[in-house]
């Protein structure tokens, strides 16, 4: 690994509540080169919080602390909110988990993408329109001319996700954080969209943090996998090696997936009492 893109040591995210502080990310450490890293884990394990913490996008009263927190030579600990805003979008961008929440409900798709384009370059109206359509095509949306005119509630679940991805790829960031980017897509479109991201990453030498609970997907589209549970990293593996996971939690996740030729009457579920957090 040549140059480290992101170094994180002892990252913590804390929320003060009326019953005392709650740590939802409990001192995790990892490095990222220009490679594809996946974070998997069950719901509430702190995956999204980790992603948001890197952008320092934890809503107050939440707090982020880290011993070492360096992105491409920039110490994120020392960045002011204003400096972070410059980094966000331009150099690090994030596809949020809930596309319908993240899109503005009263702006058309076209206007939102155009808005994102305009903040990064100056374009004429015509170029802008062309570029918007091109972006939608790239994420495999059928009939982009019609979809461009729709409002967020008028697009299907999967389209919303792809629109978010298109918007986040516009500025060609160095690091892309994708939080469950394809959970609403069918397998074949999912593959196409991930291939698109994959190509971009290889061409531009970007880094990717792929957050997902889909172990199949992660095995195919990441180089390395971090398994998180209750705010901690319980296992780190090469993606190719995932089925040999040793931690009972990872195995539990693997077993809980139904198969194409399913014969089991009931799927095994995790015994949460072992890890019960809240």
Partner 1 sequence: MSAIELNNLNIAYSSVQVVHGASLTVEEGESFALVGESGSGKSTILKAICGLNDEWTGEIKLYGEKVDPRKRADISRISQMVFQDPYGSLHPRKTVDTTLSEPLTIHGIKDNGDRVVEMLNAVGLDQRYRFRFPHQMSGGQRQRVAIARALMLKPKLMLLDEPTSALDVSVQAEILNLLKQLRKDQNLTFLLVTHDLPVVSFLCDRLAVMKKGKIVEIATRDQLAKGTFNEPYSQELYQASKHEHVA
Partner 2 sequence: MSNMTEWLLSDSPTSKGQAFAGRTWRMWLSLLGNPLAITGLIIVVVLVLMAAFAPLIAPYSPIGQDLENRLLPPSWQHWMGTDELGRDIFSRVVYGSRLTLMIVLLVAAISAPIGLVIGAISGYFGGWVDKVMMGITDIFLSMPKLIMALAFVAALGPGIENAIIAIAITAWPAYARIARAETLTFRNAEFIDAIKLQGASPARIIINHVLPLCTSSMIVRVTLDMAGIILTAAGLGFLGLGAQPPLPEWGAMISRGRAFILDQWWVATMPGFAIIVVSLGFCFLGDGLRDILDPKNEGKS
Ligand X SMILES: Nc1ncnc2c1ncn2[C@@H]1O[C@H](COP(=O)(O)OP(=O)(O)OP(=O)(O)O)[C@@H](O)[C@H]1O
Burial category of 177 from C-beta neighbours within 10 Å (exposed 0-12, middle 13-18, buried 19 and up) = buried
Residue of 10, 16, 21, 75 that binds partner 2 (CB under 8 A) = 16
Q: CA nearest 33: which of 68, 70, 7? A: 7
Pick 124 or 278: Cβ nearer partner 2: 278
Residue of 13, 40, 48, 102 that binds Mg ion (CB under 5 A) = 48
Q: Taking CB within 5 to 8 Å according to partner kind, which of ligand X, Mg ion, partner 1, none is near residue 200?
A: none
- Three-state secondary-structure class, residue 38: strand
User: What is the rounded radius of gyration, in angstroms, for the C-alpha atoms of the chain?
Assistant: 19
DSSP-assigned letters across all residues of 105-143: TTS-HHHHHHHHHHTT----HHHHHHHHHHHHHHTT-SS
Could you tell me how many residues of this chain bind partner 1 (CB under 8 A)?
53
Maximum pairwise Cα distance, the chain: 59
Q: Taking CB within 5 to 8 Å according to partner kind, which of partner 1, Mg ion, partner 2, none is near residue 48?
A: Mg ion
CA-based angle 31:185:170, to the nearest 5?
55
Closest-approach residue to ligand X (CB): 158
135 and 193 Cβ atoms separated by less than 8 Å: no
Of 110-169, binders to ligand X (CB under 6 A) are: 147, 150, 154-159
Is residue 6 within the footprint of ligand X (CB under 6 A)?
Answer: no
Of 176-215, binders to partner 1 (CB under 8 A) are: 180, 183-191, 213-215
Per CB under 8 A, the segment of 16-24, 47-55, 113-121, 237-245 that binds partner 2 is 16-24
Is residue 272 within the footprint of partner 2 (CB under 8 A)?
Answer: no
Pick 4 or 26: Cβ nearer ligand X: 26
Q: How far is CA 67 from the centre of its chain?
A: 23
Is residue 15 within the footprint of partner 2 (CB under 8 A)?
Answer: yes
Sheet containing 92-95, strands listed edge to edge, beginning at the edge strand earlier in sequence: 92-95, 175-179, 207-211, 36-41, 224-229, 232-238
Q: Taking CB within 5 to 8 Å according to partner kind, which of partner 1, Mg ion, ligand X, none is near residue 259?
A: partner 1
Which residues here bind ligand X, judged by CB under 6 A? 15, 22, 24, 41, 43-49, 62, 97, 147, 150, 154-159, 184, 213, 278
């Amino acid at each position: 690994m040549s140059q480290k893109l992101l170094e994180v040591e002892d990252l913590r995210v804390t929320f003060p509540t009326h019953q005392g502080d709650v740590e939802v990310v409990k001192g995790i450490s990892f490095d990222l080169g220009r490679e594809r890293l996946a974070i998997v884990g069950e719901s509430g394990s702190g995956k999204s919080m980790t992603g948001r913490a890197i952008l320092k996008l934890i809503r107050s009263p939440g707090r982020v602390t880290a011993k070492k927190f360096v992105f491409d030579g920039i110490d994120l600990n020392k960045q002011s909110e204003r400096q972070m805003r410059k980094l966000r979008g331009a150099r690090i961008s994030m596809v949020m988990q809930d596309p319908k929440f993240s899109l503005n409900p009263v702006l058309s798709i076209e206007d939102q993408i155009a808005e994102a384009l305009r903040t990064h370059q100056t374009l004429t109206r015509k170029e802008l329109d062309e570029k918007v359509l091109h972006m939608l095509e790239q994420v495999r949306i059928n009939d982009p001319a019609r979809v461009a005119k729709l409002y967020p509630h008028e697009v299907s679940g999967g389209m919303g996700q792809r629109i978010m991805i298109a918007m986040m790829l516009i500025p060609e960031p160095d690091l892309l954080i994708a939080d469950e980017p394809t959970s609403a897509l069918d397998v074949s479109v999912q593959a196409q969209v991930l291939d698109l991201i994959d190509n971009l990453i290889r061409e531009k030498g970007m880094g990717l943090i792929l957050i997902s609970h889909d172990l199949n997907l992660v095995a195919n589209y990441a180089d390395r996998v971090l398994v998180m549970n209750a705010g901690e990293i319980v296992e780190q593996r090469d993606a190719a090696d995932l089925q040999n996971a040793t931690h009972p939690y990872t195995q539990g996740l693997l077993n809980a997936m139904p198969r194409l030729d399913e014969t089991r009457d009931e799927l095994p579920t995790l015994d949460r009492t072992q890890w019960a957090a809240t």
